Amino acid sequence: MSSKSAAALDRRTNDGGAGFIGYLTVGYPDLETSIEAGHALVDAGVDIIELGLPYSDPGMDGPVIQHTGQLALDAGTRTRHVLRAVEALSGRVPVLVMTYYNPVHRYGVEAFARDLAAAGGAGLITPDLIPDEAAAWIDAARAHDLDRVFLVAPSSTEARLASTAAACRGFVYAASTMGVTGERSTVDGTAEGLVARTRAAGAERVCVGLGVSNAGHAREVGAYADGVIVGSALLRALGDGISSLRHLATELADAAHTARRPA
């Protein structure tokens, strides 16, 4: 058993750069367009796709992701549609579903893992689930060969960093700043230190999200992280059409892939 997302990141970091991970809300602006947007990301050079499962109480998300999620819910997007999008895209790049844990719990943890694996999914990112409370998901993920991606933040203690690194498979998601997701004018200065601390705690791969919105950010973060995660900026571009999304994604991918760590 091996991690699809880890393999995708390793291909980039072995070349000296970083991976580019793009987030899309399934069902925004509609299901078929969100799948088309996923294909556009792959064409632009994305290494891993995160597909967001729309949720009615997205307390950790910023305004763009909240807005797109609500539109998707209003249009009738449900878990089965997310799995359909996974199936449509997973033959091209690893696809991780990013979801609050309640939909997984309500679906049935074992059933969710089974159906995600059957759709070709690589695993889950669970922003509101900590390893201490994730035994059921960890067991199901192991049984179905799925990645488990948990989050760390600047406030995480060394003990929390170590337990999270040990529980993850694929990579550790480093939230670059405290607060909700969304675009920012600069990437928080604590991000590089958080990546270093997380690696020191045992993480093999650390990817950075929250606040990355342009090629300059991607190049900056790619110089020290294994992957650069972008969500809100891509969704904002998608609001202007697939061509705008593809253009921004190409710039972000090129920046991440050509970022170079100091010797």
Catalytic residue annotation: 50, 61
Angle at which helices 79-89 and 109-118 cross, to 10°: 30
Q: Which distant-in-sequence residues (6+ apart) come within 8 Å of 130 by Cβ?
A: 150, 164
d(CA 111, CA 108): 5
Give the H or E element holding residue 52: strand 48-52
The three-state (H, E, C) secondary structure of 113-153, written as one string: HHHHHHCCCCEEECCCCCHHHCHHHHHHHHHCCCEEECEEC
Q: For the chain, percent helix, then strand, then coil, each to nearest 5?
A: 50, 15, 35
